[in-house]
Amino acid sequence: HDAIAETDERAIGGYDAVSYHTEDRAIAGKAEFSADYMGSTWYFSSAANRDLFKATPKQYAPAFGGHCAYACSKGVAAAGSPLSFTKVSGKLYLFTEDEFKEKFAAEGSEASEAAASNWK
C-alpha cells in the first residue's frame, strides 16, 4: 500500500471518508464531489456522501489526522494508507500497512490510549 504523501492536498489520498463507514471499504472519491475541511480537500464518491461529511466531519474523518494509528501509539508521525484501515467504536483508523493494523489490534486499548495521548 502506498502511504499518503505528506504533500498530498487531498485528504486520505482522495478516498471517500464516508464510504469506510457506510460500505466498510475504501472507495476513490471524485473531484466533482469535494469539500474543504481542516486545510485539505476531501473527495467523495457521491454528493450524498459529501453532504453527510459536511454535516458532521468529525464523525467521518480518520483519527490522528490520517496518520498511522500504530505509529502514533509509538510516538511517531507516519502517513497512513487509505487502503489499510479499521474501525473501532465508529472511529476510522488508518495504518501505514496491514502489519501495523494487526499490531494495533493485538495491543488493543493500550495502543489506542497511547496513540491518543501521543497525538495531543
Which pLDDT tens digit goes with each residue over 63-81? 999 999 999 999 999 999 9
Cβ distance 9 to 40 under 8 Å? yes
| CB atoms near residue 83 (< 10 Å) | 16
pTM: 0.89
> What CA–CA distance (Å, rounded) separates 47 from 45?
7
pLDDT at 39: 87
Question: What average pLDDT does the segment 87-104 reach?
Answer: 94
pLDDT one-digit tens code per residue, 7-62: 467 899 999 999 999 999 999 999 999 999 988 999 999 999 999 999 999 999 99
> What CA–CA distance (Å, rounded) separates 115 from 67?
10
pLDDT at 8: 60
